Structure 1
């Protein structure tokens, strides 16, 4: 079955469209008017694709993908902050994290998926530290009650509330991490009770217990995600889970590698690092059937695909690649 993939780029050709057929990707077109789309997200019904434009004056764009190979821009709005790096649909709102000024914003969504003008903005801050927050990611929790936001510059993960009626954002709780962890991205385990936080400045994954009833994270143990002889610094970028919840996959830019970690009752354990198939692997994603891992290699301008062993979860050697200038995100329709 042929599927459509959307590839976000930086200094590339905008939002790139491709087909996937048994693993390989083939580029079929691009929406060049969607500028610097460094992060993508799909609506729950997968009919609308959202993109940030990672610019000093950020933009969020909604794209109608009802016909996956013929995407049409619905609407765009100022994102409400500087340098947006991530976004997600949270109920009837689009929420966006901004790296440059540390603001998390919300936009109400029209019934057709178009974002309305800015609803609210919340600065992630720690006045006592005086550090720049660098909000990097926003992730709704599986219960649909809370929004988690990473603050790389504050070494913290914030738990936020969003009033679905008004769009107002408010801080609820936070989990602090050791200095210079630089939390970049996080992922929920499929059981909904655990969170794994990826550090960018210190290459670690920190396990945390999540209580959706109280909206509180409890920090657990951390483990290094780079292999022996890895350069320093390495700047990990993305973290995802296997659908069965047994493995984590982590892209590491300085190492140009993908780390595989086995999930257990305590901290996950690194079991292998594999070549990412290119330079500066930014985002990685599993294919629709879970048997391929796709890696966006920004500096080499490729998306590579690696086969996954269904029994061990381990990727094999790179099986192929497609040229996409500035590739930094992969999402499947």
Structure 2
């Protein structure tokens, strides 16, 4: 059972900014919003979870720090230009905030102050393939579990970049890359809890690719792939988000167009699709497991809601939609 005072934050596009909700017995109830946090399509927490960070997915992007020491009464601390165009993802890495920009392919970093506030842009790196005219479309940045490296997906280059990151200065530099088959369009990835494997979700090809991660060398070795869509899925279908359960037994992938959640069992090779569950709304984007892992929450963008589905932790399987709350343009859901 979820505590009544649990708080959830919902990111939106063409919605009401950063939306605040309470959670009771799995159900969400909207309690407020910060409209001044514009187009917050991705959210991340500080290590102590006292500060929430949001991108503003705009042509002139921004990143905003929000004080959530009182979870139901968030207060904007600072906002800074993000250092690129169309930011779509961000993560805290040490004492820096790192942001991926879809429109121009830049990965940028900002220093984080002692109170959680953001300083001016620290550094920026363009993901690129020399001699290629393809747009990189950096979509996500993820620190590796060892804390030494940063992984960045480049959807337009069909590659996952491994970046060196200077914890003192925030400087970024390319270290290695893993190429994927042309047309894969890697969008998001997730580490296995054991820290030795990575699962990369394609947006243009509805697949998840397993890769071995060597944290000492800072390299990825591509393995086998599996489809995340069920039989009869429409073509094209655009996968959006991939997450792992805490035990490292199952993956969950949202698929736009099919409007479903694919459940995959993790094994020694490619993950195995074991269920395709209706998402409960149109154009599902981000998804997250709630506290305790017995509910999966899905942000469905069109016209906008967050739905919750019961989850069996033993089998990984999802039940039918148990409830939903209307949130215009919902695209991200995170729990304090």
Alignment map for 1:1-333 (pairs within 5 Å): 1-2=3-4, 3-333=6-336
Shift of 1:129: 2.2
Partner of 1:280: helix, strand, or coil? strand
Q: What TM-score, normalized by structure 1, do the two folds share?
A: 0.99
Cα RMSD (Å): 0.5
Shift of 1:128: 2.3
Deviations 1:55-79 (A, max 9, x none): 0000000000011000000000000
Q: How many residues align?
A: 333
Partner of 2:282: helix, strand, or coil? coil
Partner of 1:153: helix, strand, or coil? helix
* C-alpha distance in 2 between matches for 1:236 and 1:128: 29
Deviations 1:82-134 (A, max 9, x none): 00000000001000000000000000111111110000000000022221000
* Structure 2 stretches lacking a partner, 5+ long: none
* C-alpha distance in 2 between matches for 1:166 and 1:90: 12
Following superposition, which runs of at least 4 residues in structure 1 exceed 4 angstroms of deviation?
A: none
* C-alpha distance in 2 between matches for 1:296 and 1:215: 33
Shift of 1:288: 1.2
Shift of 1:266: 0.5
* C-alpha distance in 1 between matches for 2:269 and 2:211: 9
Shift of 1:46: 0.4
* C-alpha distance in 2 between matches for 1:61 and 1:102: 20
Q: What TM-score, normalized by structure 2, do the two folds share?
A: 0.99
Deviations 1:253-282 (A, max 9, x none): 110000000000010000010000000000
Deviations 1:26-64 (A, max 9, x none): 000000000000000001100000000000000000000
* C-alpha distance in 1 between matches for 2:64 and 2:124: 18
Shift of 1:300: 2.8
Shift of 1:167: 1.3
* C-alpha distance in 1 between matches for 2:236 and 2:103: 21
* C-alpha distance in 2 between matches for 1:171 and 1:58: 23
